[in-house]
Chain A
Amino acid sequence: MKDAWRLALRNLARNRRRNLATGVAIAFGFAGMMLLGGYAIRIESFLRTNAVYLQRVGHLAIYKEGGLEKASTKPAKYGLDAAEQARVAEVLAAEPEVELTARYLRGVGLAGNGCKSVPFTALGVEPEVEARLLGHPEVQRVSPELARPVRGKPLAEYPAVDGAVALSTGLARLLGKSRIHDEIAGAAPEAGLPDCAAPDATARLAADANVQLAGLTYGGSLSAIDGEIVNVFRTPLAETEDGTLVATLEGLQRLYETDQVTYMAAFLKDDGRAKALAPVLERRLREAGLAVSVYPFDDERISPYYVGSMGMIGSIVLFIGVLVTAVVSLSMLNAMTLTVLERTREIGMFRALGFTRRQMLGLFLREATALTVLALGAGALLGGAVAAAVNAANIRFKPPGISGDMQLLITPTAGLCLTLVAILLPLSLLVTLRAVRRRTRERVVTLLTEAAA
């Protein structure tokens, strides 16, 4: 009914100041939620990308049963051997939702520079797979800073370098390795031990990009290999910054004298499918005779940081969302209650002219809808403008627990906006209904005379 909408719009102009205040409350509430939600969306995708691709958890992590808990203390018993790896790969290859599969060996040890040693946690990766993961569009879009080595190039670009390793910036610093392979320009490593107390010890430590990695083999004896630092990178988490090392799978297997891997990771085409696919693949793998467990990336045991952070962010968003909802509801309730009160006699007049109760309700609901939609539209414009301004300003900050800084990006999605509209609009109408209903049900004569009194 076009005329009823026209009337609703005209009525909005009747108490301009009040409706403006209500509209502003709704618009700000919407814009606020849009920004907060947009920020949460950005953080979620950042943390998810970091967990899945940069911490190499994969969308699905496949461990030998019990391996997630026990592989660090009993690696030989809880790793996947070559035959198992092949069978897992076979099952994953048959699943069309899997985009990429990777094998990872995790281990600990000491990295030495000839003077001192620093404990490390190492990840052995397949360089070709690694290159594809770091170049993944999702990674490039969401977390390009962390995907790029701070210095040097990805492992895959050094097939000829024996024992190529990548060190986290903190680990390189602790070892005094300020230069990497590319920057040494072919200088042969110094023979023997540098005099660590000499005044030029720092310079001599930095003269080559060579490190020694020592660790216990899967057989239980001490072993060591030479490594050549080809790049230095930042880890997604601050707590791992001082002791993370990425080596080739083959190199790390040599150190630990094993053909096993700690886990295999499946990268999916669709993020959202991880949870659903995990039990399906686990069943399939078990049917193939493999005693393995499959964990989705958002399993707390796999990505405690992701799950913990998202839980916290979720509570904040929920809390503020409830506040905003309350503010929007109350201002709408206030506005509509006053409107109805002011127009009691008019309601009576409309009823006298033959408008039914339902039609009266319809008039007010249209009015509320018009006000809410206009306010939401304004809110969307405001939120979009603020988000664009913030994003364009390239504000950088250092989030807690994450190494390095990241850009403050606010990425509200259409889905977020629609969700907010789907919550706020019906809410506003519900509140209006609550405010108007009783009045429209009164006897016409009461409406006409009450206000006159």
Chain B
Amino acid sequence: MSGSVVKLEEVHKSYRLGQTSVPALRGLSLELRRGEFTALVGASGSGKSTLLNLVGGIDEPDSGRVLVEGTDVATLPDDERSRLRNQKIGFIFQSFNLVPVLDVFENVELPLLINRRIPASERRDRVRAAVEDVGLADFARHLPDQLSGGQRQRVAIARALVADPLLVLADEPTANLDSVTTHRIVDLMLELNARRGVTFFFSTHDEKLMSRVARVVRISDGTVVS
């Protein structure tokens, strides 16, 4: 359970907002180790989303380096970066982002469709396993709008895990859920973290969740405060 999965070195990132430049990250450094279950906490606007986006390779830093397994993500060409996301990173979004016309099984299957080397039978097995892992085996043929919020987020979790990523990034995964469901989702993530050894990095502003995770990274004004 050692080795650096993600390493951020002196990362700066600011956004243009009209004429002014709004700094989001100011020289942030951070390291995530394999198998860690880390919560990212901070007030809204503190730079949580920006940090997750940089780690996930869907945004680029203004300066500094974001290394995923030692590779500087920003230097990769777009297709390479897409492949990296597909094979090493799973995303869980606040608003689930499921494809409404695909059923549970098909939604989970999406990341596997990209890698053509995976044979259909193996794909089916992996999707089934992922769907079972999140406890939705009975709902495999349901469409997203036939599911509750918690169930939808489980689908998203299954989709994030199906390609056996190194790292799962979750941006406010429980923000749209009630507290009971929130705890179930966190339980599920913890269980998967323990069982599969996947590194989890998720942002939240729910202080009640802090006690349940091994590591909490707090950021404020674009830097890590603890």
Contacts and interface: CB of A to CB of B under 8 A. Distances in A.
A–B contact (CB under 8 angstroms): yes
B82 A355 contact: yes
26 contacts: A1-B113, A3-B109, A4-B113, A7-B99, A7-B101, A10-B101, A13-B101, A345-B97, A346-B97, A349-B91, A349-B93, A349-B97, A353-B111, A353-B159, A354-B86, A354-B87, A355-B86, A356-B78, A356-B79, A356-B82, A357-B78, A357-B82, A358-B79, A443-B59, A443-B60, A445-B53
Contacts, number: 70
A97 to B, nearest CB: 53
A13 B83 CA distance: 29
Interface in B96-125: 97, 99-102, 106, 109-111, 113-114, 116
B173 interface: no
B86 A353 contact: yes
B137 interface: no
B56 interface: yes
A7 B102 contact: yes
A193 B181 CA distance: 117
Contact of A351 (B60, B82, B109): B82
Interface in A348-400: 348-359
Interface residues of A, number: 27
Contacts of A7: 99, 101-102, 106
Nearest to A343: B99
A374 B106 CA distance: 24
A452 B171 CA distance: 14
A141 to B, nearest CB: 50
A346 B58 contact: no
Query: Which of B83, B84, B99, B109 has the largest count of A CB atoms less than 10 A from its CB?
Result: B99
A35 interface: no
Interface of A: 1, 3-4, 7, 10-11, 13-14, 345-346, 348-359, 443-445, 448, 452
B53 A346 contact: no
Contact of B58 (A11, A356, A358, A443): A443
A349 B114 CA distance: 13
Contacts of B59: 443-445
A72 B2 CA distance: 105
B154 interface: no
A5 to B, nearest CB: 11
B95 interface: yes
A346 B107 CA distance: 12
Given A3-B109, A11-B101, A352-B85, 11 more contacts: A7-B101, A7-B106, A345-B97, A351-B85, A353-B110, A354-B111, A354-B163, A357-B78, A358-B79, A443-B60, A445-B53
Q: Which of B86, B109, B113, B163 neighbours the largest number of chain A CB atoms within 10 Å of its CB?
A: B113
B47 to A, nearest CB: 13
A111 B218 CA distance: 113
B102 to A, nearest CB: 7
B146 to A, nearest CB: 15
A14 B85 CA distance: 27
Contacts of B85: 351-354
Nearest to A355: B114
A257 to B, nearest CB: 87
A366 to B, nearest CB: 13
Most buried by B among A350, A352, A358: A352
Contacts of B83: 354, 356
Closest 3 pairs between A and B when the two form their complex, measured CB to CB: A354-B86, A444-B58, A10-B101
Contacts of A355: 82, 86, 114
B101 A448 contact: no
Contacts of B56: 352
Contact of B99 (A346, A348, A444): A346
Interface in B45-67: 53, 56, 58-60
A347 to B, nearest CB: 11
Contacts of A3: 109, 113
A197 to B, nearest CB: 91
Contacts of B97: 345-346, 349
Nearest to B56: A352
A431 B102 CA distance: 26
Nearest to A3: B113
A353 B93 CA distance: 11
Contacts of A14: 100-101
Contacts of A10: 101-102
Contacts of A351: 58, 82, 85
Contacts of A1: 113, 116
Given A3-B113, A4-B113, A346-B99, A352 B79 contact: no
A166 to B, nearest CB: 71
